[in-house]
Chains A and B, each alone.
Chain A
Amino acid sequence: MSATAVTSAPPPSAAAPSSRPAWRSSGALGLGIATLWLSIIVLLPLSAVVVRSLDGGLGAFWDAVTSRQALAALRFTVLVSLATAAINVVGGTLIAWVLVRDRFPGKKIVNALIDLPFALPTIVAGLTLLTLYGPRSPFGIDIAFTQWAVLLALLFVTLPFVIRSVQPVLIELDREMEEAALSLGARNATIFRRIVLPNLVPAILSGAALAFARAVGEFGSIVLISGNIPFDTQVSSVYVFKLIESDAPVSAAAVSTVLLLVSLAVLLGIRGFGRWGARHDR
């Protein structure tokens, strides 16, 4: 393709760069400014968290991270985020399946609504869930200020991740393979397990990892509905918030550093899934 485009074009004049458009030479300046912007806005503040977390020395860092309340919050955060990711793996794949393979009136609207948790401010999401599943619940279901409420809030805000990651793969999936398996006498469960699922796994895992990362850091939707009870419903982000409010920025930075490490690990993991998915395509 590109070869024909080049040969059919008139021979480049001596002044024009042979292989790259002229604007790319000015692109270096743009790239420099963009990288500087990224550094000032994102990298400088985050490095401040890591550096300042060691202001009191390694001992103080360790004490802040391993205090009973910090550990309890971190443990609950990781467990509830894992549960969120696991439910999303099943629920998200199921919803993606229904949205791609099923046909029913109003499907387009449902498909558009999936993105609502991305568009709705998290504090509104929290208030919303508290209204429906709190003390004034019209259904009589009151789970406010329990660990279930935290799980519910996290399920709300992470809903789109697995669905939006599985949907395009499912649309592209070659149905001939499934038909071939069917004609060879495979049962539905077998086809799903042996043919459909293996193709979806990278997308499901990367969606679940995104959901997990989001859940670990989530604050806005949890803060109203959790009641923030230490050793029970307190998550790490709310714990850090309390530390900042009680003017303990070094301890807050220490716990934040742990959260940052979790985020980084998940980011690297997602890139791994992405590569795996790309290889799987061939």
Chain B
Amino acid sequence: MTVDRRWQISLRIVALGYLALLLLVPVGLIFFRTFEHGVASVWESITTPAAIHAFWLTIEVTAIAVPLNTLFGIVMAIALARGNWRGKGLVNALIDLPFAVSPIVIGLSLILVYGVNGWFGGALSDAGIQVIFSVPGIVLATIFVSLPFVVREVTPVLKEIGDEQEQAAATLGAGGWTTFRRITLPAIRWGVAYGVVLSVARCIGEFGAVSVVSGKISGQTETLTLLVEKRFANFDLAGAYAASALLALIALGTLLAMTMIKPRREEGDA
């Protein structure tokens, strides 16, 4: 179907105009508003003790959640792509739940299990462990929301490459671990990398679930996204913009990583 020139141009203008008004102008404006009072004040507001703590807490939570979910993701993807077991269809559907469930519901669900009046609340407080309104709760919420990314990126790659090479390696006497390390892992590495990038972005950016379970104690359980909200609520607009600009920079870095990994993942170069 060949659209004539006039139609082509008008479709292009509508599409790009929509994107500009929805995406580009708002995000550009964040940077403008951030730096309109100079770089010094921005630097000051992202290096306050609370901001630095929020930054490192965000990194810490991400550094716990992403490796765990990557490990889970690879194992589960292999089981889904190669295995033939009962309940596979059900598990496959359940893995998507974190994408479909509201972050607020996720936060509530953790409170109902680990909170003071939760299922394990009594046992945990007897043991002196606080999960809700504390860092472990934030970690659990973050693991929950970022759980499906690696599985969803790796499973199609595994299906695409097939298992002939793995079979051949096994026939030639390679053990399970050797086959995985020498054959499977190199073939799926870009799929894993893409999933990891998506997970990292989600972990750093998670707000809803974390805001329910964190208690938002400045300098203790406050992540970067919570800092943005608190500064906004306290009428510290400049501070909120500065923290947002930092998060937006991380997001742009994520996009760059996605763009670089995507073609390699699609080539599936082994």
Which parts of B25-83 form the interface with A (CB within 8 Å)? 25-27, 29-30, 33, 68, 72, 75-76, 78-79, 82-83
Q: Closest 6 CB pairs between A and B? A: A23-B176, A217-B102, A121-B205, A21-B170, A45-B109, A219-B208
Which B residues are closer than 8 A to A by beta carbons? Answer: 1-4, 7-8, 11-12, 14-16, 18-19, 22-27, 29-30, 33, 68, 72, 75-76, 78-79, 82-83, 85, 91, 93-113, 115, 117-119, 140, 143-144, 147, 162-164, 166-177, 179-180, 198, 201, 204-208, 211-212, 224-225, 228-229, 232, 240-241, 244, 247-248, 251-252, 254-256, 258-259
Convert A207-230 into 0s and 1s, putting 1 for each residue whose CB lies closer than 8 angstroms to a CB of B: 000100110111110011000000
Q: What mask results when residues 5 to 34 of chain A are scored 1 for a CB within 8 Å of chain B, else 0?
A: 110011011001100111111110011011
Q: Which of A30, A42, A98, A268 is the one whose CB lies under 8 Å from B98?
A: A42
Query: A182 near B79 (CB under 8 angstroms)?
Result: no
Q: Which residues 160-188 in A have Cβ within 8 Å of B in the complex?
A: 175, 178, 181-182, 188
Q: Does A271 contact B (CB under 8 A)?
A: yes
User: Which B residues lie within 8 Å of A278 (CB)?
Assistant: none
Partner of A94, one of B14, B119, B204, B241: B14
Tell me, yes or no, whether A276 is within 8 Å of chain B by CB. Answer: no
Choose from B18, B112, B247 the contact partner of A249 (Cβ within 8 Å).
Answer: B112
User: Is A120 within 8 A of B205, CB to CB?
Assistant: yes
B228 CB to nearest chain A CB (Å): 5
For B1, the chain A residues whose CB sits under 8 A away are 175, 178, 181-182, 188, 191-192, 195-196
Interface size on A, residues (CB 8 A): 106
Contacting pair B201 A119 (CB below 8 A):
yes
Contact A122 B208 (CB under 8 A): yes
Known: A16-B173, A182-B1. A113 touches B24 (CB 8 A): yes
Q: Is A241 an interface residue (CB 8 A)?
A: yes
Q: Tell whether, in the assembled complex, residue A97 and residue B11 are in contact, meaning their CB atoms are under 8 Å apart.
A: yes
Asked, given contacts A45-B144, A118-B201, A220-B207, whether A38 binds B94 with beta carbons under 8 Å apart, the answer is yes
Instruction: List B contacts of A62 (CB < 8 A).
Output: none
Is A216 in contact with B102, judged by CB distance below 8 angstroms? Answer: yes
Check A188 against B3 for contact (C-beta < 8 Å): yes
Pick the residue among B170, B212, B258 that contacts A22 (CB under 8 A): B170
Q: Please, how many angstroms separate the alpha-carbon atoms of A213 and B8 in the complex?
A: 32
Per the bound structure, the CA–CA distance linking A50 and B167 in Å amounts to: 44
Instruction: Give the CA-CA distance A101 to B11 in the complex, in Å.
Output: 11
* Closest residue of A by beta carbon distance from B102: A217
Interface contact B232-A127, CB-CB below 8 Å: yes
